[in-house]
Structure 1
Amino acid sequence: MQAALETTSDEPTARQQAVLDAVLALMVEEGDQLTMSAVARRASCSKETLYKWFGDRDGLLTATVQWQAARVRANNYDRQRLDAATLRKSLKDFAENWLSVISSQTSIALNRVAIGHAASGKSNLGGIVLANGRFAIGERLKPVLEAGREAGLLSFDDAETAFRTFFGLIGRDVQIRLLLGDALRLSRAEIERDAAMAVDQFLALHGRAQPAPKA
């Protein structure tokens, strides 16, 4: 399989973004019945262009997952001047972004298809979603947690374990309920409330009341 996206930047171009959004829209409407021809029709481009940009169907799906997961990130911060307020905002931004993404119709449709493919062995979409979704998101946040530990604001032994704790506090049972068809709708206010609660709970487990003195 070719690289997921042939571009000189990590960020897809506006035209490529339109293609990836077309993939997500088709997944919501048609689920598993996604073809390169259907994407080309919806995005008003040729199949040849799709193959040039994304390589093949797996490459297109990989780029789509990356595009969806790219919405989940913490805000920028100065690692050398990280304080409690900035750390809390970074964690809350991440939590809000992730809740917004997983509760969207596009994410629900994508994950349902990935689960079906993982169970049937029909394609590697399950592995693609894991590698470019959950695992990539974890690698994006763990440096924030490690910076918090270096600043004496957090206490934990292993960044992966700390991330999994935070991830669980954010998601709770929301994603599984959505995937199983629960008509759960999270308003912006509810997402902000749940994100703040997850951060409070995480800091109660791993936060320091006062920064530890640096050695």
Structure 2
Amino acid sequence: MPVTIKVSEETFTPRQQAVLTAALDLLVENGDGLTMTAVARRASCSKETLYKWFGDRDGLLTATVQWQAAKVRMPVVDRSHLNAKALRLSIEQFARDLLTVITGEVSITLNRTAVTHAAQEKDSLGIIVLENGPLAIRRRLKPILEAGRDARLLRFDSSEDAYRTFFGLVVRDVQIRLLLGDKALTQTNVVANIEADVKAATDQFFALYGAKANP
């Protein structure tokens, strides 16, 4: 049967999606300047509606991070017919989504703001981003890696270690360089090289963890 995880935080109505998109736009434009009033104005809705949907500002921030992280889609594989090609395509899709999302302007701005807030112990944005961004994304791929292991297509002792290796191969130093404003690395260059980087990372991952590579 297909391996899927229904993630409730990804379930937003079209109207809620429009509000969360407006919140992301404001984060990119203003960083710390995200308020319920500003989001309501940008999204053409009432603050009462925002409070009803999201509870408070932290609830809105949580949903906003979840909406951004949901762009890294959960791969779907069929355990009963899983083969090396299907597994590879699923992992490549995940890598493509991951690299596209975390190197985009929205994620860079969101992470910069979260790191600043965490350093200043300003609010809970750092924890919100950690729990609903990187950790949530990790939970989407690990079952796929474990399905590959169960099908004897991958070999590893710990899916956590395998995921960390995969993340390192895909992201390398690109995210930190963008976060620090490395002028030698532009988002245009990142986008242009995504397909090649995804293929290289997937090749390297299977070289390390593919069943044939680890008899």
Q: When the two structures are superposed, what TM-score results if normalisation uses the length of structure 2?
A: 0.91
CA contact (8 A) 2:28 2:109 kept: yes
CA contact (8 A) 2:9 2:63 kept: no
Deviation string 1:172-212 (CA, Å, 9 cap, x unpaired) is 00110111112422454411110111111111111022898
CA contact (8 A) 1:151 1:211 kept: no
Which residue number in structure 2 is paired with residue 51 of structure 1?
A: 51
Quote how far apart the aligned CAs of 1:103 are.
Answer: 1.5
**Residue 171 of structure 2 is aligned to residue 171 of structure 1:** yes
Which residue number in structure 2 is paired with residue 90 of structure 1?
A: 90
Quote how far apart the aligned CAs of 1:42 are.
Answer: 0.5
2:125, 2:9 → 1: CA distance? 24
Which residue number in structure 2 is paired with residue 27 of structure 1?
A: 27
Look up the equivalent residue of 2:76 and give its one-letter code: N
Which residue number in structure 1 is paired with residue 201 of structure 2?
A: 198
CA RMSD of aligned residues (A): 1.7
**Residue 104 of structure 2 is aligned to residue 101 of structure 1:** no
Deviation string 1:71-122 (CA, Å, 9 cap, x unpaired) is 1124321012110001110110000001110111111111111111111111
1:84, 1:211 → 2: CA distance? 15
1:150, 1:130 → 2: CA distance? 29
Which residue number in structure 2 is paired with residue 5 of structure 1?
A: none
Gaps of 5+ in 2: 1-7
**Does the C-alpha gap of structure 1 residues 122 and 210 become closer, same or farther in structure 2, counting only changes over 3 Å?**
closer
**Does the C-alpha gap of structure 1 residues 41 and 124 become closer, same or farther in structure 2, counting only changes over 3 Å?**
same
1:1-215 equivalence runs, <5 A: 10-183=10-183, 184-185=186-187, 186=189, 188-209=191-212
Aligned residues: 205
Gaps of 5+ in 1: 1-7
Give the share of equivalent positions with the same residue, in percent: 62
CA contact (8 A) 1:75 1:89 kept: no
Deviation string 1:25-82 (CA, Å, 9 cap, x unpaired) is 0111111111111111111111111000000000000001100101112432101211
Q: When the two structures are superposed, what TM-score results if normalisation uses the length of structure 1?
A: 0.91
CA contact (8 A) 2:10 2:67 kept: no
Look up the equivalent residue of 2:114 and give its one-letter code: A
**Does the C-alpha gap of structure 1 residues 9 and 182 become closer, same or farther in structure 2, counting only changes over 3 Å?**
closer
CA contact (8 A) 1:71 1:97 kept: yes
2:207, 2:20 → 1: CA distance? 39
2:33, 2:213 → 1: CA distance? 54
CA contact (8 A) 1:72 1:137 kept: yes
Look up the equivalent residue of 1:205 and give its one-letter code: L
